[in-house]
Chain A
Amino acid sequence: MMPAAAALEVRGLTKRYDRPAVDALDLTVRAGEFYALVGPNGAGKTTTLRMVAGLLRPDAGSVSIFGIDALGKSAAAKQVTAWVSDEPMIYDKLTPLEYLEFVAGLWGIAPAVAKPEAHRLLLSLGLEPHLHERCEGFSKGMRQKVALAGALVHDPRLIILDEPLTGLDALSARHVKGLLGERVRNGDTIIMTTHILEVAERMADRIGVIASGRLVAEGTLGELRLQNGSADLSLEDLFIALVDIEVAAA
């Protein structure tokens, strides 16, 4: 059996501000995998993902997306990538449909493909009653859903999500989780940061624990339990144990 190709390969990724935010990080996410990146506040999760998405230039290291050098051929890498931040980035004066039309235009998607896909996404996220309203009156959860629909409308193969469930109510969170699960089943790759460990535990194929800019543990939940020597621990217990060790070491 052929090993699964890497959707994302990060080698020696480094970013320093007044201290190292990301410290020679190595990370591999396989194609078709749902990968959750967890870690305490300030661990370097968002900085890592921003560098992968091409929003931040690393000080050192390499990023490869489906074999494309994301630092050298950024446009080609961005063509197959989507980024959604925890702070929804949409325009107040556009309607959700207009926003999706703009995103589809940026990614060069033909209108005949983009329009039905935009409708399908907005409907599946429960935004049907608001299709033609300007986003200025939307709640944070609604904005998050519009941003997510925008990320998916150009059919990316790698979806990078930074805290995608923040601000969503239970029903909206279920909509989003359903949509993300569907994407993974269709062969897309998702890498997501989250503080909600239960989500990582239930949805992710593999979990990476990051602390002080370094990957301190990685694997399926079972593998993490094995690495920690206990089969009964929850992800929360494992997370606290791993992060405590890292803090003590620092």
Chain B
Amino acid sequence: MVGTAIGAAMEGMRPIVEMQFADFSSTALNQILNNAGTIFWRTGISCPITVRLPSGGTKGSGPFHSQSMEALYSHYPGLIVMTPATVEDAYTMLIEAVAIDDPVIYCEHKYLYYHLKADHLPNEGLPVGQARIARVGRDLTIVSYSAMLHESLTAAEKLAGEGLEVEVVDLRSVKPLDTATVLASVARTGRLLAVGESFPWGGVTAEVIARVAAEGFHLLDAAPARVNARDTPIPYHPNLWSAHRPSSDAIVAKARQLLRE
């Protein structure tokens, strides 16, 4: 599918490839990473394909239908990686993805399909690569994206009951990653917690912390921390799955620990 889309894109079309489950895109890694991601840099010919990845976990989806692949695709040059967390962004970012001349990996979270609602769809959204302050606070910055944005907002609401004001940043796209908005938030709060649903080794949360440590170490009043899924294949049983993925309670616990330091 992706190989055909690449050829069509090079001939002037704007294909959207739908992968059914993000997990299945691993069979197309050569075409996405080695072909689509490098074509412009090798030939000067654009490759405007959009690959839709239904991503993330839902109850009972198991190890082959639950993965979050955004970190893997972000690692390679030549790709844009979008992770919309709201109804509005799901709409405007898909339209924007197709307009971009580079290959775009559009990570739509399956858990959000039916759990989010909006009153209307906007005519335009924020530019790609620009993060959004989803909640304002002064004690701690939580940086998140996709479905984990909503666990983070729930955690922030719980902490507000304890008198703690948590700022929540929605990255919207993880590549490009809006370091400036993250650093500005950390400058206000002095503390950073990065939250992602993907596996912990490397990845987006590690990249956020690495950037803040390198470019904003002087802003930090405590060591940055992160919350990710467990470093095991994603379990099928709903109870195990709930324990495997980051929950608002796990975020609250880590935030409390960070705020004590």
Chain A partners chain B: no
Interface of B toward A, CB cutoff 8 Å: none
